[in-house]
Amino acid sequence: MKTITIRRPDDWHLHLRDGAVMEGVIGDTSRHFARAIIMPNLVPPVVTTADAQAYRQRIMEVLPEGHRFQPLMTLYLTEHTQADDVEEGKRSGLITAVKLYPAGATTNSHGGVRDLDKVMPVLERMAAIGLPLCVHGEVTTPEVDIFDREAVFIETVLDPLRRRLPELKVTMEHVTTKEGIDYIKSAPANLAGSITTHHLIINRNAILVGGIRPHYYCLPVAKREHHRLALRAAATSGDPRFFLGTDSAPHVDPSKECGCGCAGIYTSPNTMSCLAHVFEQENALDRLEAFVSLNGPAWYGLAPNEETMTLVKHDEQAHFPAKRETGAGDITIFDPMFPLHWAVAD
């Protein structure tokens, strides 16, 4: 049996949804994580500070009793976003970041940005006040292969933006490629990347080999094995530019298991067990705390959590339910396809 104690972790990219789904899943995050950056791609999206305040209130109303959890709110960037509203949200302490979704890139992103020039006044204001931009780093043009979207985004959108506005702080969320890792490493300042649990574990074979497996389908889609290995090397390196953002994305099973299934993998319940397994495989358990508890707060200008978490490795396998029941229906929990022996101590 092994034991490791770390500061309580945070999740720097989380989907909670709303209504019955949110009520059913929030405890899986708040049980383990002290804070999480909450994604704004609801229907309708969270586009104003008033929207974010109302959404935060709904989150707090369904938080399980006794759980200590702080939702860090974001705004959904549109071509109609007002710079003054963004600045007021930052000044009030409510807004932690603004999220850029290229239109059509992922779930509920159709209202995203099509012309970056139209949001430059907002981005310039964000740079001036020190508010980070979180980006879904994929292009959506139909001629670009889905497995190349991230690399093309870096070349045609992100790098030109950063050259145009180098003082803007950018988080490249859910990095999935070696090109993304290398680009972040090459940046002299103002660029960091979040890495998901599932992209450290699966490659595209998990989706396609032996039949189509919808519960391994996410966006950005899992890539080739050499990309997965680059992600693991970055996550376990201790490099402060990389930190955990699970992109845990609950969808009820009928929305995944259909002719046109939704993108998203629900990893919140077993993320810490999966990560301990991965870091142990890489002989990097001593760097787990940096990835899940230290690097993210430093990037977002927050203090690390004072509370601690203990993970214990048991001889017997840790068991997680296959599904999370919610008032809207069952949600399948991520299966890493190997037994988990690490578990968070009660």
Question: What's the pLDDT tens digit per position in 248-260?
Answer: 999 999 999 999 9
CB atoms within 10 A of CB 286: 12
Check if the beta carbon of residue 168 is closer than 8 Å to that of residue 180.
Answer: no
For 121, half-sphere exposure in the C-beta direction (CA atoms, 13 angstrom radius) is 9
The token duo for 252 is 């009820």
Q: Measured between alpha carbons, how far is residue 269 from residues 52, 274, 319 in Å?
A: 25, 10, 11
**CA–CA gap between residue 50 and residue 165 (Å, rounded):** 28
The token duo for 141 is 């043009």
* Residue 159 is among the residues annotated as catalytic for this protein: no
Short-list 170, 138, 129, CA closest to 156: 138
Q: Which residue has the tokens 């500070």?
A: 49
Q: Which of 51, 117, 247, 335 is catalytic?
A: 247
Q: What is the pLDDT of residue 112?
A: 79
CATH among 3.30.70.100, 3.20.20.140, 2.60.120.10, 3.90.1150.10 for 2-344: 3.20.20.140
Band (pLDDT 50/70/90 cuts) for residue 5 is: very high
**CA–CA gap between residue 173 and residue 246 (Å, rounded):** 10
42-101 pLDDT per residue, tens = 999 999 999 999 999 999 999 999 999 999 999 999 999 999 999 999 999 999 999 999
Short-list 192, 196, 199, 100, CA closest to 153: 100
